């Protein structure tokens, strides 16, 4: 029977140590704290921008520039991570992220806010790169999907608290005070990040490190683009429009009137909660059935759900299709990130860039359809088509090996 600590990855034999998820918990918590200030802006800035003296177009640029800048900084982060101590880089990245939360609280000029958001994009490139590789360095191959799901779920507590807690804090305490509190809280990311890397180093002494010579395949990059463009890009940016077109300004549920804005916020928060609670289970599923198989399944179900929502054309079907899409998006992203991580640090950087490019292009695709054809159903059909294409592309992913119950098996043809 094969040793579960030995995996043959792209012709390279890598010996896996007996590992604990302690470092995964630590880096997940650190990432969550680092996200607080960033996520508050998404929930508060669209309704508070006039008090800051900003124009609507400036808000759009501020909230998106961090994604565009990562198309350049992701590769920079990967290269520096191979040349400089990760302990130093993660300390600098988390410290910078925390300082930027303070900066958001006091900056009012558009140019300064824009610079701060660009620096956050730089910081996040390092946080994500080191975070994913910390999980890779901490997990046995047969548990990589589960550990990546655990990391994803833990880190998204920052999104939930940042969105909901930030909005409530803004209403009760004000914009500046809430960001100062979030900035102080995010400083906790620094010792947690250091502890996570120290835990990895202590456990991996004398163990051959995973190869980082392999780059991402075109199928992985295309799948990452699809995952980023549909969920975080297309659907999250147009959800309010989709709901308004089907239910109008409000909906009545068991005698309670719910406004479309509140319903949009609840669904978006549900998306983060779904990742928080469901990502580890979906990562475990990808370990059991193979990452390529699970990616194809998630893309296929999500694509069919969006097509059904557009075809039925009623509020219940629309809400149901959106929820199914969010669940499938989480599952596909967890499996894709694990697949990228198993290929090495260069593949992680390339995959992250493809996903970021998709999330930046998605809103443009969605809103462009409304410029040409004033029908919100077209958004659903566009998302469905992209997901189904993603399912076909994912079938071309190279066969990867999965270690389960002490046996090495291939994730072979579907």
Same domain as 109, residue 41: yes
Whether 250 and 257 have beta carbons less than 8 Å apart is answered as: yes
Tokens of 395: 């079938």
For 371-392, write each residue's pLDDT tens digit: 776 677 888 899 999 999 999 9
DSSP state letters, 64-97: HHHHHHHHHHHHHHHHHHHHS-HHHHHHHHHHHH
Same domain as 307, residue 283: yes
- Residue 144 falls within a domain, yes or no? yes
Same domain as 354, residue 279: yes
What distance in Å separates the CA atoms of residue 139 and residue 148, rounded to the nearest whole number? Answer: 9
- Residue 248 falls within a domain, yes or no? yes
Same domain as 31, residue 142: yes
Same domain as 234, residue 351: yes
Nearest Cα neighbor of 286 from 335, 337, 340 is 335
Q: Which of 141, 171, 203 is the last residue of a domain?
A: 203
Same domain as 228, residue 173: no
- Residue 328 falls within a domain, yes or no? yes
Give the pLDDT confidence score for residue 258 in this predicted structure: 62
Tokens of 354: 């493809």
Residue 273 neighbours by CB distance under 10 Å: 18
Same domain as 237, residue 347: yes
What distance in Å separates the CA atoms of residue 266 and residue 250, rounded to the nearest whole number? Answer: 13
Domain of residue 40, residue span = 17-203
What distance in Å separates the CA atoms of residue 366 and residue 379, rounded to the nearest whole number? Answer: 6
Give the pLDDT confidence score for residue 391 in this predicted structure: 94
- Residue 211 falls within a domain, yes or no? no
**Number of folded domains that form the chain:** 2
Whether 155 and 132 have beta carbons less than 8 Å apart is answered as: no
Cα dihedral 298, 366, 160, 350, rounded to 10, equals 60
Residue 235 neighbours by CB distance under 10 Å: 27
Residue 255 neighbours by CB distance under 10 Å: 5
Same domain as 348, residue 311: yes
Q: Which of 145, 172, 203 is the last residue of a domain?
A: 203
- Residue 1 falls within a domain, yes or no? no
Same domain as 262, residue 183: no
Q: Which of 203, 232, 266 is the last residue of a domain?
A: 203
The alpha carbon dihedral of 402, 408, 413, 414 has a sign of: negative
Whether 233 and 224 have beta carbons less than 8 Å apart is answered as: no
Note down pLDDT in tens along the chain; length 414 residues.
344 444 444 444 444 444 558 899 999 999 999 999 998 888 788 778 888 888 877 887 888 889 899 999 999 999 999 899 999 999 999 999 999 999 999 988 999 999 999 999 999 999 999 999 999 988 887 888 899 999 999 998 998 888 788 888 888 888 899 999 999 999 999 999 999 999 886 555 434 344 444 566 889 999 999 999 998 888 877 777 777 777 766 666 656 666 666 677 777 777 878 888 888 889 989 999 999 999 999 999 999 999 998 887 677 888 888 899 999 999 999 999 999 988 888 899 999 999 999 988 888 887 777 677 667 788 889 999 999 999 999 998 865 444 443 444 344 434
- Residue 12 falls within a domain, yes or no? no
Write the CATH number for 385: 1.20.1250.20
- Residue 195 falls within a domain, yes or no? yes
Same domain as 177, residue 63: yes
- Residue 32 falls within a domain, yes or no? yes
Give the pLDDT confidence score for residue 333 in this predicted structure: 93
Same domain as 253, residue 377: yes
Same domain as 198, residue 224: no
The DSSP secondary-structure symbol of 208 reads: P
């Amino acid at each position: 029977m094969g040793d579960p600590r030995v995996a043959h990855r792209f012709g390279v034999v890598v010996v896996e140590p007996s590992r604990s998820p302690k470092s995964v918990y630590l880096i997940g918590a650190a990432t969550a704290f680092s996200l607080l200030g960033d996520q508050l802006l998404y929930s508060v800035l669209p309704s508070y921008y006039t008090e800051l003296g900003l124009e609507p177009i400036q808000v759009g640029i501020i909230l998106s520039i961090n994604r565009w800048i990562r198309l350049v900084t992701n590769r920079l982060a990967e290269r520096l991570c191979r040349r400089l101590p990760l302990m130093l880089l993660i300390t600098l990245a988390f410290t910078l992220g925390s300082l930027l939360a303070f900066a958001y609280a006091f900056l009012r000029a558009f140019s300064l806010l824009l610079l701060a958001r660009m620096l956050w994009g730089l910081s996040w490139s390092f946080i994500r790169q080191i975070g994913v590789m910390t999980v890779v360095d901490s997990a046995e191959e047969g548990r990589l999907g589960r550990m990546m799901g655990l990391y994803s779920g833990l880190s998204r507590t920052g999104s939930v608290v940042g969105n909901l807690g930030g909005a409530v804090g803004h209403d009760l305490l004000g914009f500046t005070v809430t960001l100062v509190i979030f900035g102080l809280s995010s400083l906790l990311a620094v010792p947690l990040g250091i502890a996570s890397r120290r835990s990895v180093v202590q456990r991996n002494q004398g163990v051959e490190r995973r190869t980082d010579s392999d780059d991402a395949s075109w199928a992985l990059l295309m799948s990452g683009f699809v995952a980023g463009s549909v969920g975080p890009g297309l659907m999250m940016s147009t959800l309010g429009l989709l709901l308004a077109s089907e239910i109008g300004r409000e909906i009545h549920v068991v005698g309670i009137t719910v406004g479309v804005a509140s319903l949009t916020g609840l669904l978006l928060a549900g998306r983060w909660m779904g990742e928080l609670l469901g990502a580890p289970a979906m990562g475990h599923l990808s370990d059991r059935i193979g990452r390529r198989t699970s990616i194809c399944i998630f893309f296929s179900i999500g694509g069919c759900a969006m097509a059904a929502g557009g075809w039925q054309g009623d509020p219940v079907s629309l809400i149901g299709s959106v929820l199914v899409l969010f669940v499938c998006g989480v599952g596909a992203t967890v499996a894709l990130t694990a697949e990228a991580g198993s290929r090495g640090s260069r593949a992680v950087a390339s995959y992250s860039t493809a996903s970021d490019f998709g999330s930046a292009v998605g809103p443009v695709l969605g809103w462009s359809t409304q410029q040409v054809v004033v029908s919100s159903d077209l958004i659903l059909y566009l998302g469905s088509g992209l997901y189904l294409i993603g399912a076909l592309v994912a079938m071309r992913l190279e066969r990867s090996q999965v270690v389960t119950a002490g046996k090495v098996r291939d994730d072979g043809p579907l």
